[in-house]
Structure 1
Amino acid sequence: MSQDNAETPESGELSAREKVLDRRRRIQAAIRDAAIDEFASKGLIGASTQAIAQRAGLTKPQLHYYISSKEELYEDILVYILDEWQELFISASTGDNPAQIIRAYIHKKLEYGQKNPKASRLFTTEIANGAPFLSRHWAEYQASTQQAVKLIQSWVDQGLIRPVDPLLFQMHIWAVTQHYADFEVQIRSFMQLSDNEELDMVRVEEEVTALFLRACGLQ
């Protein structure tokens, strides 16, 4: 074997370390998904680490190698959801104009809610209970919300959109887009959909987008 093709001890060690990190990431993702399912169905009080471990395909001692307590895991999950939503706006705000950004953000929020309805409902339940765990994280996320406020206000100042309250405009988008995840049972009932019929998200997205574009004079 030539020297060029030989694996050095350093590269072999790195490969092994990457495998360990990859396995750790996969286990952590399994724990996160299992915790969201358990907390969404039973709440913090009703959930158990034994049940979370079983959902994740782990033993309880294995689970506690990765977490210190049920409460810490619950809080970590809520922060993870906030991070996901923050990233949705950051990725959407790279658009070229207000209409494009608003469309992209609404699409991403609706899509996230349909793909992660339990995460959305878990977050909503925490808020409905007074945000006992999330309240200590508000400052960080209020800062990112204020960045969005400045962006929307800049559109108003430049005459790109009709004057709107930038903060309320954001919160109204959150409320409407999350509604289709948090209240899906009610929506399906009013739309007279059977259990095996899919919600027409194209129709929903078009109507929601039109609603907010009209609000700022872009349609």
Structure 2
Amino acid sequence: MGSEKSDMNLVRRRREEIRRAILDAAIREFAKNGLAGTSTQALAAAAGLTKAQLHYYISSKEELYEEALHFIVREWRTIFFVSAGSDDPAETIASYIERKIRHALDHPEVSRLFANEVARGAYVLSRHWGELKQAVEEASGVIEGWIAAGRIRPVDPLLFQMNMWAVTQHYAEYEAQARHLLGVPEGTPLDAERIIAEAQDMFLLRCGLTPPAR
């Protein structure tokens, strides 16, 4: 009995590993080539599977594309959520910016896939706007609370968030341009510390807060 349970757990873990490999491959391939330009053969190869094996786990590339976008929305909400328990505005904003930039630099394909979908009209992503909108509204409530308590200079809570997204995702979505202007060749990491410090200073000073000591 114990052996059977162990075997079942092993099979389950293996299935989960394959599903995650497929999802990671999908994000990379869709970010690079778009939905129309990505074949199931390319997805299978990127995931280290045969085409037949891939179709055992997915019904269509369109369904996988939507799953990838939904995963990004859920992941971003988990990683970058600004909760009502965030008591220190300076620490919260600085931490948010650092996490967002590091994630964009480490996983540029995630930001690119999201941006590409929005650029083409967000036809698939629009079905998942509810989750994103709820997270944004909750974060706006936190920012409004800081303003009401006199803890930060008045800002437009929604535009403040949108401007932070634009800055923190820029180095993933426009990596080629950033590399050219900064003189950083392909294969050499961008200077995360420099990028984070500049963004933190910009948004903290906008709120009348003191940037962290460096």
**RMSD value, Cα:** 1.5
Tell me which of the two structures has the higher relative contact order, counting C-alpha pairs closer than 8 angstroms and 6 or more residues apart: 2
Alpha-carbon spacing, 1:101–1:64, altered in 2? closer, same or farther (3 Å): same
The question of whether the paired residues in 1 share the 8 Å contact of 2:83 and 2:139 is answered with: no
1:97 maps to 88
- The match for 1:189 is 180
How far did residue 198 of structure 1 move?
2.5
- Within 5 A, what are the aligned runs for 1:1-219? 9=1, 11-90=2-81, 95-219=86-210
Report how many residues are paired: 210
Measured against aligned partners, the alpha-carbon deviations of 1:4-54 in whole angstroms (never above 9, x if no partner) come to xxxxx2x43332222122101110111011111211221100101111111
| Percent identity between the two aligned chains | 50
Q: Report deviation, 1:137.
A: 1.1
Q: Which structure has the larger Rg over C-alpha atoms?
A: 1
Aligned to 1:68, what secondary structure does the other structure show?
coil
Relative distance call for 1:91 and 1:56 in structure 2 (3 A) is farther
Q: Distance in 1 between matches of 2:84 and 2:45?
A: 39
Q: Structure 1: give runs of 5+ residues left out of the alignment.
A: 1-8
| Distance in 1 (alpha carbons) for counterparts of 2:166 and 2:198 | 15
The 1-side partners of 2:181 and 2:149 are apart by: 41
Query: Normalised by the size of structure 2, how large is the TM-score?
Result: 0.93
**1:155 partner letter:** W
Question: 1:94 and 1:19, CA in 2 relative to 1: closer, same or farther beyond 3 A?
Answer: farther
Counterpart residue number, 1:5: none
Q: Which amino acid aligns with 2:53?
A: Q
- Distance (whole Å) between structure 1 residues aligned to residue 85 and residue 174 of structure 2: 30
Q: Deviations over 1:169-200 (max 9, x none)?
A: 11111110000111111111111222343211
CA separation of 1:124 and 1:140: change in aligned 2, threshold 3 A: same
Aligned partners of 2:58, 2:40: CA distance in 1, in Å? Answer: 10
Q: Is the 8 A contact 2:82 2:142 kept in 1?
A: no
